[in-house]
Structure 1
Amino acid sequence: MSGPDLENTAMGNNAISGTDVLWDPSNSSQIDPALCRAVEDLLRQHPTGILPIVKAGHPVLRAVTTPYQGQLGDLLPDLLEYMRRTMLDAPGVGLAANQIGLGLALAVVWDPGTDDPDDPRERVAVPHRTILNPRYEAVAAPDSGEVEGRAFYEGCLSVPGYQAVVNRARAVRLIGQDEHGEPLDEVLVGWPARIVQHETDHLGGMLYLDRADLRSLAATE
């Protein structure tokens, strides 16, 4: 997900998305030697730590990613560090593995947030973190019992030069794992929830344009 250049519009909701397959870190039988060699070659070819980002039109962005079950073994931390560097260099606030051509269900996110307490996007700081095998579901507001939607402009590192309004749930429950295989189960609100929805959609073979109001599509350059 690219860095925000956003404004408020309408409200709506979102759907459940993601995988329910989890990784058992104690099981090393899932290591894929051929995939490890391919990832090692990719990292070796880019010693700066900045990987090429796949652009819209490449079939890897339209394929549902494979759940991460330890295929990369001890190589996972190196890959995640390269992904973080690539995300920050772009710059962006999230990067899914298939955006670097790797069809595994993992992503990195980070956002410095904003100092404006009245920001309608509720854009608070998100620390560097990894999400593996994520899924999300919309969470209803406690006062109304209804899912609250928010529509803001989004961009994408795989669709450079454009942004469009996307209607998403204001709050979602994120379920998945971190880079150590520890479980994640938490409710996110505002901009962090949007980042998670955007990146999880990537892992399901979707681009933000699939959910966007295409009449709002605008060039950013």
Structure 2
Amino acid sequence: MALLKIARMGTPVLLKPALPVTDFTDPALHRLIEDMAETLADSGGVGLAAPQVHASVRLLVYQVPAERMGPDQGAVPFSVLINPTLDPLGPDTAAEWEGCLSLPGLTGRVPRARSIHYRGFNERGEPVEGEAHGFHARVLQHETDHLDGILYPRRLADPGDFGFVEEIRKALAGRVPSA
């Protein structure tokens, strides 16, 4: 396994839609998943999309610690989602602060669906689907945006809700989670 270099905002691979995975038996795909798992663990983040590591394929990995989940929800273990599709479960949205490994040190308040239905495939090519709520739903929406060539600043409702984590944290008296 290897740590992969994370693409930063401005890198062309982050600005274009990724290609669907068609061969779930490809050893290169499984190496990429292993390397992304190691890179995510090293980064301290909760999600990582393949374009963020310079691979233009529709693949994301994520895990959500229990402290980031809502009451009565457990942690989401390390998961792989390939060729995902997401659908909101109703009109409810929430604007919350997000960070991104491709925009280090920055944060923005992004409106997203509170609950979603997701489907796709796991690393073995088996169909997976489920519902995600709260922060889990936010992570999946954020990472799927990467697969569509969208970085979160394009989702801001108010451009004034974007800046350096440390400055926004000071301005809001520490109410902003770390990016």
- Scaled to the shorter chain, the TM-score interval is 0.7 to 0.9
Mapped to 2, the partners of 1:93 and 1:114 lie a distance apart of 12
Q: Does 1:194 align with 2:144?
A: no
66, 73, 87: which one aligns with 1:113: 66
Relative to its length, the structure with more helix (as a share) is: 2
Mapped to 2, the partners of 1:71 and 1:54 lie a distance apart of 24
Does the aligned pair in 2 maintain the 1:123–1:191 contact within 8 Å?
no
Does the aligned pair in 1 maintain the 2:84–2:120 contact within 8 Å?
yes
Match of 2:95 in 1: 151
Mapped to 2, the partners of 1:214 and 1:70 lie a distance apart of 40
Mapped to 2, the partners of 1:124 and 1:218 lie a distance apart of 31
| Structure 1 unaligned blocks of 5 or more | 1-46, 141-146
> Is the deviation greater in 82-91 or in 58-67?
82-91
Match of 1:34 in 2: none
110, 116, 129: which one aligns with 1:172: 116
Between Structure 1 and Structure 2, how many residues are aligned? 165
Does the aligned pair in 1 maintain the 2:69–2:135 contact within 8 Å?
no
Mapped to 2, the partners of 1:134 and 1:115 lie a distance apart of 22
What is the TM-score with the length of structure 1 in the denominator?
0.70
Match of 1:217 in 2: 162
Task: Quote the offset at 1:163 in angstroms.
Answer: 0.3
28, 32, 38: which one aligns with 1:85: 38
Mapped to 2, the partners of 1:174 and 1:116 lie a distance apart of 17
What is the percent sequence identity of the aligned residues?
A: 37
Mapped to 2, the partners of 1:89 and 1:194 lie a distance apart of 21
| Structure 2 unaligned blocks of 5 or more | 167-179
- Could you say which structure has the greater relative contact order, defined with CA pairs below 8 angstroms and 6 or more residues apart? 1
Q: Which residue identity does 2:124 align to in structure 1?
A: H
Aligned-residue CA RMSD (Å) = 2.0
> Is the deviation greater in 109-118 or in 155-164?
109-118
Task: Quote the offset at 1:176 in angstroms.
Answer: 0.8
Task: Quote the offset at 1:74 in angstroms.
Answer: 2.2
Task: Quote the offset at 1:78 in angstroms.
Answer: 2.1
Match of 2:47 in 1: 94
Task: Quote the offset at 1:63 in angstroms.
Answer: 0.7
What is the TM-score with the length of structure 2 in the denominator?
0.85
